[in-house]
Homo-oligomer: A and B are copies of this chain.
Amino acid sequence: MPATQTKPAITIVEVGPRDGLQILKSILPTAYKTRWIAAAAAAGLREIEVCSFVPVAVVPGMADAADVVRFARTVPGLTTTALAPNAKGAQAAFAAGAHRVSMPISVSIAHNLANVRKTHEQSIDELRRAVDVRNGQPKSDNAEIEIGLSTAFGCSIAGAVPLADVLTLAEKCLAAGADRVTPADTIGIGNPVQVKRMYAALFKEFGTSKIGGSHFHDTRGQGIANALAALEAGVTSFDTSLAGLGGCPFAPGASGNVCTEDLVWILEEMGVTTGIDLAKLLACRDILRDGLPQEKLSGHLAEVGLARTQSGGRVAAAR
Q: Which of A160, A221, A248, A299 has the most CB of B within 10 A?
A: A221
**Do B308 and A156 touch (CB < 8 A)?**
yes
> Given the known A-B contacts A187-B312, A225-B225, are A248 and B317 also in contact in the complex, defined by CB atoms under 8 Å?
no
Question: Across the interface, which residues of B come within 8 angstroms of A305, CB to CB?
Answer: 251
In chain B, what residue has the closest Cβ to A197?
A: B317
CB pair B160–A315 under 8 Å, yes or no, is yes
CA distance A192 to B239 in the complex (A): 20
At the interface, yes or no: A218 with Cβ under 8 Å from chain B?
A: yes
Indicate if the CB atoms of B254 and A303 lie closer than 8 Å: yes
What is the number of residues of chain A that contact chain B, defined by CB distance less than 8 Å? Answer: 56
Copies in the complex: 2
| Chain B neighbourhood of A300, CB < 8 A | 218-222, 254-255
Q: Is A162 an interface residue (CB 8 A)?
A: yes
Chain B contacts for A253, CB-based, 8 A:
303
Q: CA–CA, A258 to B288, complex, Å?
A: 28
Write the chain B residue with the least CB distance to A302. Answer: B253
Contact B191 A266 (CB under 8 A): yes
Q: Which residues of B contact A313 (CB under 8 A)?
A: 153-154, 189-191, 194
CB of A35 to closest CB in B, whole Å: 25
Contact with B along A242-285 (1 / 0, CB 8 A): 00000010111111000100100110011100000000000000
Q: Is A122 an interface residue (CB 8 A)?
A: no
A window 186-222: CB within 8 A of B: 187-194, 197, 218-222
Residues of B within 8 A of A250 (CB): 304, 308
